[in-house]
């Protein structure tokens, strides 16, 4: 049996705009997805958690299985476990895809290959999102820590790789980097979940249609990019007040793009007074918000008072990991 796990992510700056090549920053979080693979002796087809595998229900898994198949014909039983809520903006499908790549690499007796896991998972995401996906979620899940995507190679960050893909008929290029951030003692990241599922493909399509119908709205994506640049620099300087301010500004532009929701707004309003900065995270239309705060207990309480589920997360969890091999 083979087991691999990968973390979820939260986007601190730049969701949606990153699909169009604007800079963005995400970090891995404490919640993870894990995949166990076991050779199937009694059934002659692949199964997932005891049920016959259905590629339509699990498009990410189908894509990765087709591109990274085991060397022999013997079917596998896939067990999916994890603590990342589905369709919540925390990258559950990216983490699932990355963990599956890690487990299949083991089954194929290949050394762990983070770049392959990150790339194949990105392609699986793009297929599931109507061809529009940045490598943000999948790279953060594969590499862990803080991941910066930029339209140029940033000399003062640690370069990981360059990825390109056609989005809405235009070739996009993302340069991926990481860096060590020092988060001052006492500063925490709180995640608040509305409990409402948001569809990434629907929200990404909504933004695509908006800028197609009103091309001048592309300026808003550029504004998000400029805020992201400022926020990333503030984080590197350890200026958490400025990080929080940039997060809140980023949220205002996301709201004007129409990807927030009344539930997200309610949790954001509740968390704001006790926080340095608040914003939705991920594709929106439901899902989660995040708060950068020096008063995490108070922020958690405020979100819960408004009916959200809230928890404090670590910023900087390890990426793809092989759990054990028997
Ligand atoms: C989803 O977590 C983030 C989006 O920017 C989509 C993407 O980057 O592919 C909305």
Q: What confidence tens digit (pLDDT) does each residue in 2-17 have? A: 999 999 999 999 999 9
Q: How far apart are CA 88 and CA 272, in angstroms?
A: 20
Helix count and strand count (H, E) for the chain:
9, 13
Q: Which residue has the tokens 């979080």?
A: 29
pLDDT of residue 326: 57
Atom 8 in ligand 1: residue holding the nearest Cα: 134
Residue 171: which H helix or E strand, with range?
A: strand 170-179
pLDDT at 44: 87
Atom of ligand 1 nearest to the CA of 17: 5
Q: Which of 9, 10, 11 to mutate to test the pocket of ligand 1 (most atoms within 8 A of CB)?
A: 11
Measure the CA–CA gap between 72 and 80, rounded to whole angstroms.
22
Distance CA 42, CA 63 (A): 24
> Tell me, what's the pLDDT at 33?
97
192 C-beta closer than 6 A to ligand 1: no
- CB of 165 shorter than 6 A to ligand 1: no
- How far is it, in rounded angstroms, from Cα 290 to Cα 275? 10
For the chain, what is the radius of gyration of the CA atoms? 19
Q: What is the mean pLDDT of residues 199-217?
A: 95
User: Ligand 1 in contact with 137 (CB < 6 A)?
Assistant: yes
The Cα–Cα gap between 287 and 92 comes to 12
118 CA distance to ligand 1 middle (Å): 15
Could you tell me the CA-to-CA distances from 126 to 59, 136, 142, 239 in Å, in that order?
11, 11, 16, 35
Q: Is the CB of 65 under 6 A from ligand 1?
A: no
Tens digit of each residue's pLDDT (9 = 90 or more) over 145-182: 999 999 999 999 999 999 999 988 889 999 999 999 88
**pLDDT score recorded for residue 182:** 84
Q: Answer whether 200 contacts ligand 1 (Cβ < 6 A).
A: yes
Q: How far is CA 181 from CA 25, 174, 236, 239, 265, in A?
A: 12, 21, 6, 11, 29
88 CB within 6 A, ligand 1:
no
């Amino acid at each position: 049996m083979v087991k691999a796990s990968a973390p979820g992510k939260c986007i601190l700056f730049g969701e949606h705009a990153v699909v169009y090549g604007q800079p963005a920053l995400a970090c891995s979080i404490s919640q993870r997805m894990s995949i166990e693979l076991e050779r199937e002796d009694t059934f002659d087809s692949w199964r997932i958690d005891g049920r016959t595998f259905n590629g339509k229900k699990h498009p990410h898994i189908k894509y990765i299985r087709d591109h990274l198949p085991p060397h022999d014909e013997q079917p596998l039983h896939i067990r999916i476990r994890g603590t990342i809520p589905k369709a919540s903006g925390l990258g559950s499908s990216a983490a699932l895809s990355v963990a599956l790549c890690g487990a299949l690499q083991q089954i194929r007796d290949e050394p762990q290959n983070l770049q392959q896991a990150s790339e194949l998972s990105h392609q699986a995401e793009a297929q599931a999102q109507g061809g529009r996906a940045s490598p943000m979620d999948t790279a953060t899940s594969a590499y862990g820590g803080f991941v910066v995507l930029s339209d140029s190679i940033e000399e003062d960050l640690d370069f990981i790789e360059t990825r390109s893909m056609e989005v809405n008929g235009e070739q996009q290029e993302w340069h991926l980097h990481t860096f060590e951030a020092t988060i001052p003692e006492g500063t925490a990241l709180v995640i608040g979940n509305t409990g409402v599922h948001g569809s990434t493909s629907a929200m990404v399509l909504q933004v695509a249609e908006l800028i197609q119908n009103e091309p001048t709205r592309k300026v808003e994506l550029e504004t998000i990019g400029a805020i992201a640049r400022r926020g990333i620099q503030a984080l590197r300087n350890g200026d958490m007040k400025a990080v929080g301010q940039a997060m809140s500004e980023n949220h205002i532009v996301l709201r004007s793009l129409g990807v927030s929701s009344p539930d997200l707004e309610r949790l954001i309003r509740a968390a704001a007074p006790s926080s340095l900065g608040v914003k939705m995270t991920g594709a929106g239309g439901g899902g989660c918000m995040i708060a950068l705060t020096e008063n995490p207990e108070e922020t958690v309480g405020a979100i819960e008072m408004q009916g959200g589920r809230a928890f404090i997360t670590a910023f900087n969890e390890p990426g793809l990991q092989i759990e054990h091999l028997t």
